[in-house]
Amino acid sequence: MKRRRATPAQRLRPFWFLIGLVAVLCLVGGYLLAMWPALRPHRVEVSGNRVVSVTAILASAQIDYGANIWLQNTHAMATRIEAIPYIRTASVHRRLPGTINITVTERVPYAVLEKNGARNLVDETLRVLGPADARDAALPVLAVSSNQRVDQLAIVVDQAEKAQLEPARVSFDEYGDVTMKLRGGIDVLLGDPSTTADKMPLVKPILEKVDRGPRKVAAIDLRALTTPVVVYAR
């Protein structure tokens, strides 16, 4: 009679007790390691913040100081911190035995968004950071109504700064044309939003030419690109 080869289970049968004991020891060891006080958060380091307080960052992180740091979800901590309006990015890392390092980058105010009677700071992505106040007077104002596109005005601000101009306020008129007020008080009528890129480089040369005269410039009308009009103050 041909002898049947032993199955893997049959070969391991004499060692089942030992395998079970090792498994129990691993479970106990894992439990003891998870509960080891040295691996709980004993030190939390926060860096990269200027506007947002450490207290606000830690409150959003929701660190469990009674639990093993290696069993806590650092990705979820970072996501909660990034929900703070001024926080652009957050990263959370662990270091043995019980240190948590939080590094953030903050958003930078880009302009004041004026909409429906409210004035709020926004960053370059137009995310609202919080209410604006008198300290933000140096930032350009993007004034829109509820049905107007603020991103188009942000493009105009970028074009103006690239052309070495200082926009104080950018808005749409009743016909949907773009109007920009410069820091010196001069209004620039730019017309259709799709044409502002071609018109913006003309503003500074026109100002340099007409400002040499005795009369003060009140506005520059560039709605008709081929026939710019300079309006003087009365």
Among the listed residues 101, 95, 102, the one whose alpha carbon sits nearest the alpha carbon of residue 39: 95
Confidence of residue 227 (pLDDT cuts 50, 70, 90): confident
Same CATH topology for 39-106 and 145-232: the answer is no
* 74 CA to centre of own chain: 20
Confidence of residue 10 (pLDDT cuts 50, 70, 90): low
Confidence of residue 210 (pLDDT cuts 50, 70, 90): confident
Query: Is residue 219 classed exposed, middle or buried when 0-12, 13-18 and 19+ CB atoms within 10 A define those classes?
Result: middle
Helix (H) or strand (E) holding 76: helix 74-82
Architecture per CATH, domain 145-232, reads as: 3-Layer(aba) Sandwich (3.40)
39-106: which CATH topology?
Answer: Ubiquitin-like (UB roll) (3.10.20)
Among 2-16, 62-76, 154-168, 212-226, name the one with the lowest average pLDDT: 2-16
pLDDT at 191: 94
Domain boundaries, the chain: 39-106, 145-232
pLDDT tens digits for 75-98? Answer: 999 999 999 999 999 999 998 888
